[in-house]
Structures are given as C-alpha cells and as structure tokens.
Amino acid sequence: MSKPLGGILPILAAPFTARGALDEDSFQSLVRHLIGCGVSGLTLFGLVTEFYKLTDRERARLQALLLAETSRAQAVAGIVAITDHSWEVAVGRARAAEVDGADALLVLPPHFLAPSPAAIRQHLIQVIRSVNLPVIVQYAPVQTGLRLAPEFFVRLRDELPNLALVKVEAQPTGPYVSALLDDSGGRLGALAGYAGLQLPALLARGAAGLQPSCACAEVYVELWRRWRVDRAAFQALHLQLLPYMVEWMQSLELIIRADKVILQRRGLIASDYCRAPAYALDAAEAAGVERCLDQFKAWLT
C-alpha cells in the first residue's frame, strides 16, 4: 500500500439525473474534480453515497469509474465501503473491490436485527482476512445501534494486521479515540467522522484524518493544511464551518440533500435529485445552503 490513509478522505455522493437514473457523467466529473483538490482519498458507498438506494449493477459501475480514476492518481486512495450484512456476501464484494484496484476498504459492521458481538466479530474477521488491503472499520453507533467497546477493535487488531483504522462516530468521541490509540500501542489508528464536529479534539488526540461528505471538500482540505501549519487559523475556520455541521448532521437524509444542492449549485453535478424517500429542504434550510456557498466561496468557486 503506497497511498497513506490519512488527511481528508471524503465520502462520494451518488449523482442521479432529474428522472432518478444514475448519472455516470456527473460522477466521473465529480471524482476528477475532487482528485485535483488535494484530498488524500475518495470513499465510495459510505452512508452519504445512498448505497442503500443503488442496484448491484449501479454499484459495480460506480466502483469501476472511481477506481479507474484513482488508479491513475499517485496520491489519492480509492476506498470502497463494504456494507453487506452477511459475511458470505461481504467477502465476495471485498474481493471484487481488491481485484478492481481498490487501495483500501471501509467495512460497516452488520447491525440489522441487533447481531451479537460474537457475530459482528466473526463477520469482521471473515471480511478483513479475505483481502490483503488495509481496512477501516466504521463504528457509528448512532446510525447502527451497535455499542462496542474500544477493546473490541484492539483485540481484533491483534488477529488482523491489515485492520488499519477505526472511523469513530461514537459519543463521546474523544475518550474512545484515545483508548483505541493507547490500548493498541499505536498499531490501530482512528479517523474522525460526523462531518468533523469534534475534529479539533480528535486531531489533538492523534486521529489520522477525517472522512466527511464531499460537497465542501476544499474547505476540509484547507482545515487539514491549517492544522499542520497554523492552529489558530485552523480553529477560526472550524468555527465558521461548525454551524453548518450542527445543522446538517441532524439527519442522514438532510446532509445528503444539502450536499447535493451544494454540488449542483457549484456545477459539479447536473441535478440534486435524491431517490425516495428523500429530504426536502425548507426555505430556511435552503437559505443556509446559500450562506455556506457565499461564506466559503474562496474555496468553493
């Protein structure tokens, strides 16, 4: 693995036409734009990709388009999320991503109908062992209902050397990240999620980077740059972004819609269509999107 998993690793949107069909042209243009923005990687089939609204054929096509682009980008990793609830299916999906040229995987543990910790452990072992790629596990208890202690992942890392990182979206997040890093002796890393709400504290604790959504990727890249060179400027920019994070992270469908409106307004995708069921911005929320575009126009134009 020559592409490090750190910095800003946005989750890609899945663009649709105004009639709801997959928009391959917009997706390819979006990927190419983001590769040129200074991101460290691009992640496909995260929650904001609306993966749960895609057919298997659409997933295969988006994966091929992404990895064709990242394979030509020396410094941008192509990360494919594995979201299947059965390890028998997830293993096949993981191996296919490796064959297609993925640089890393993001694995969402099974959560439907509340599987036991032992079943979750078995799932992760089967999937992670099936590939030679570095693996990030997404721990998102608010979205999935799963509650797993940090030592669950530390013990897993003892068995699986290609388990590289945990994307932590637990609450409170900071102590969880510290426990992961300290208890694993630094062998297991952590990524921030949840739009970067707790980013200053998590970076200070040693998190390796952030997986945000992609509509404002350039602002996050600037945040990452400032973290390394000017902490006061980093704090100032994070405070400017914070109200939008708080507003849009109230629900998954809300941030998906806000992201797509921003991407469409920026000319990066042709339509802001979201497949049903979808969220509709009210007038105040739409005005907030416009304020965001204006406030961060230095990076978003």
| More confident call, 1 vs 232 | 232
| 277: preceding bond cis by omega (within 30 degrees) | yes
What single string gives the DSSP state of each residue in 131-198? -SS-EEEEE-HHHH-----HHHHHHHHHH-TTEEEEEE--SSHHHHHHHHHHHTTTSSEEEE-GGGTT
In terms of Cβ atoms closer than 10 Å to its own Cβ (0-12, 13-18, 19+), residue 207 is buried
Residues 215, 219: Cα–Cα separation, whole Å:
9
Say yes or no to pLDDT of 180 above 90.
yes
Question: Percentage of the chain with pLDDT > 70?
Answer: 100
pLDDT for 185 equals 96
Each residue's pLDDT tens digit, 216-237: 999 999 999 999 999 999 999 9
Q: What is the pLDDT of residues 34-82, one digit of tens each?
A: 999 999 999 999 999 999 999 999 999 999 999 999 999 999 999 999 9
The string of pLDDT tens digits covering residues 13-38 is: 999 999 999 999 999 999 999 999 99
SS3 77: strand
3-class secondary structure, 147: coil
pLDDT in tens, 91-142: 999 999 999 999 999 999 999 999 999 999 999 999 999 999 999 999 999 8
Task: For residue 98, give both structure tokens.
Answer: 């490796």
In the prediction, which pLDDT does 194 show? Answer: 95
Q: Is 162 strand, coil or helix?
A: coil
> Distance between CA 69 and CA 111 in Å, rounded?
32
Q: Are the beta carbons of 137 and 124 closer than 8 angstroms?
A: yes
Architecture of 7-300 per CATH?
Alpha-Beta Barrel (3.20)
Alpha carbon distance 244, 102 (integer Å)? 32
* Contact assessment for residue 90 and residue 51, using Cβ atoms and an 8 Å cutoff: no
Residues 15, 27: Cα–Cα separation, whole Å: 6
8, β-bridge pairs: 210
**Per-residue pLDDT at 301:** 86
Instruction: Count CB atoms within 10 A of the CB of residue 209.
Output: 26
0.85 surpassed by pTM = yes
Mean pLDDT, the chain, integer: 97
187: pLDDT strictly greater than 70? yes
Q: Is the pLDDT of residue 1 over 90?
A: no
For the stretch 250-295, pLDDT in tens is 999 999 999 999 999 999 999 999 999 999 999 999 999 999 999 9
Domain boundaries, the chain: 7-300
Q: What whole-number distance in Å separates Cα of residue 174 and Cα of residue 205?
A: 7
